[in-house]
Amino acid sequence: MEKLERHASFGGWQEVYKHESEVLKCSMNFSIYIPPHDDNEKLPVIYWLSGLTCNEQNFITKAGAQKYAAEHKVIIVAPDTSPRGADIPDDEAYDLGQGAGFYLNATQQPWAENYRMYDYIVDELRNLIDQNFPTNKVQSVMGHSAGGHGALVIGLRNAEIYKSISAFSPIVAPSQVPWGQKAFTAYLGTDQALWSNYDAVELIKSSYMKMPILVDQGSEDSFLKEQLKPEILINACRDNCYPITLNMREGYDHSYYFIASFLNEHIEFHLNYLK
């Protein structure tokens, strides 16, 4: 790994690293906040997955997470949202290609070789963090928008790895909304049986374990009615007796102002299960 940045913050360190990913076949960046801790102390980890167009910088510069992570003594890791580079397939649209990996393993060309963000997050990055930083190998996952979709899918499919899931403004049913339908068709093809592996609503229907889930959604989110549709997730959870907490936040939108307002509550939610 190559250390790109190191900043003192609330007694800990906000760092950014670059490494060569075998899974994605390119260089990848990730950010990590390490709170103040004793020399031999091992800490839990929360993974943050960002949304469309974002990279490893958005969360660490806009969310104000360092203060809360220091107070609660939890490591927070925020990776990039897709493979990147001159040789990596891309698209002119903001919602496909670089910056829009959608946290899945692509099966279609030209995406299949590099766009394997699901395996990268669940296996490669997690192992890299555990091998190089003071973790106790106990983790939860959270995210925003397309990253909220990623957090729900990755958490639901790996209940033996992650203790809890939370999301801000998540795409809960990508198979039923334009963002997801476009990405899934491009990355996975037209076989909707494959789509269900990356659709939180479909996963809830077949889940064998009840993962703790917290969702916050702003009432003034411009994507609420067309792309997010949290009511689909709530209905699926109700029909399958799956416990979930959904907070509709009056007046809040899709921005990091929203995330920063309630991030501490999400970290506290996860710490209930990480401890």
Of 80, 90, 216, 221, which one is the catalytic site residue? 221
Residue 149 annotated as catalytic: no
Q: What is the pLDDT of residue 189?
A: 98
Q: What is the pLDDT of residue 207?
A: 86
Alpha-carbon distance values, 164 to 159, 179, 186, 215 (Å): 8, 25, 30, 11
Sequence-ordered list of residues with C-beta below 8 angstroms from that of 166, at least 6 positions apart, any chain:
140, 142, 151, 213, 214, 215, 216, 266, 269, 270
What Rg value do the Cα atoms of the chain yield, rounded? Answer: 17
Of 145, 164, 166, 169, which one is the catalytic site residue? 145
**Domains of the chain with CATH codes:** 2-272 (3.40.50.1820)
Q: What is the pLDDT of residue 216?
A: 98
Q: What is the pLDDT of residue 165?
A: 98
Sequence-ordered list of residues with C-beta below 8 angstroms from that of 176, at least 6 positions apart, any chain:
201, 229, 232
Can you list the residues of the chain whose pLDDT is less than 70? none
How does pLDDT run across 151-204, given as a tens digit for each residue?
999 999 999 999 999 999 999 999 999 999 999 999 999 999 999 999 999 999
pTM: 0.97
Mapped onto helix, strand or coil, the DSSP state of residue 158 is: coil
How does pLDDT run across 72-88, given as a tens digit for each residue?
999 999 999 999 999 99
Helices (H), 20-125: 57-62, 65-72, 117-119
Of 72, 149, 254, 266, which one is the catalytic site residue? 254
Residue 27 annotated as catalytic: no
Q: What is the pLDDT of residue 9?
A: 98
The count of C-alpha atoms lying within 13 angstroms of the C-alpha of 204, restricted to the half-sphere facing its C-beta, is 23
Q: Which amino acid is at 218?
A: G
Residue 39 annotated as catalytic: no
